[in-house]
Amino acid sequence: MSAVLDQLRNPGVVAIVRLDDYSSAVEMVRALHEGGIRAVEFTYTNPRAGEAIAAVADAMGEDVAVGAGTVLDPETARAAILQGAAFVVTPTTRVETIAMCRRYDVPTVIGAFTPTEMLTAWEAGATMVKLFPASAVGPKYIKDVHGPLPQIPIIPTGGVSVENCAEFIAAGAAGIAAGSNLVDAKTVAQGDWAVLTERARALVEAVGNARRARDQ
């Protein structure tokens, strides 16, 4: 688990792939990895997510932690893990899913919005908490939550981009997760992997700079 945790925390950027077509999964992950990203999740809004996870895990090995996103229940979590998912991400707080992942010693990034949901997820054994949708509350919300709950590592998701990621990091985010602002259907359909690499590189650089500024 420790190696996967390192990939989730460093450089602090998780790429979310939510597309109707996962046939280019390996190529897009290679492009993202070239830009410095070490953790990528394929969402189960596409029923072929498991196949994409297996293909990327086989092709990339330990270079990239490939995870399952939009996992709604423990059964889906188990299926994803058996297909090679190195971590599991949920949009909501469901303690049964956390328990399933702990049984397999797989890290979790559990979706929550309120402080109560965040603490519930954390006390149930979540590895990290995903603030979703982050766009609804903005960076200051993380700082406010960390007042009474400083022990919870929070990853904002939803509307996070290269333009605003530094604000979330400055507010105390453990990292960020980016979806369509990083991986969009048009770029993937065109096979413009250089664009994905450049977007990844820009996000990684922005997060790194923000962390250094915050920790000075």
**Closest to 206 in 3D by CA, of 182, 186, 185, 187:** 182
Q: Which member of 27, 51, 117, 130 is catalytic? A: 130
* The two three-digit tokens of residue 198, written as one number: 């450049």
Is 41 part of the annotated catalytic residue set? yes
Give catalytic status of residue 186 as yes or no: no
In Å, how far are 91, 121, 173, 199 from 113, measured between CA atoms? Answer: 9, 11, 14, 27
Q: Which of 211, 175, 185 is nearest to 37 (CA)?
A: 175
Spatial separation of the C-alpha atoms in residues 121 and 97, rounded to whole Å: 10
Handedness of CA 26, 173, 91, 163 (dihedral sign): negative
Tokens encoding 214: 């915050």
Q: Which of 27, 34, 41, 62 is catalytic?
A: 41
Residues acting as catalytic residues = 41, 130
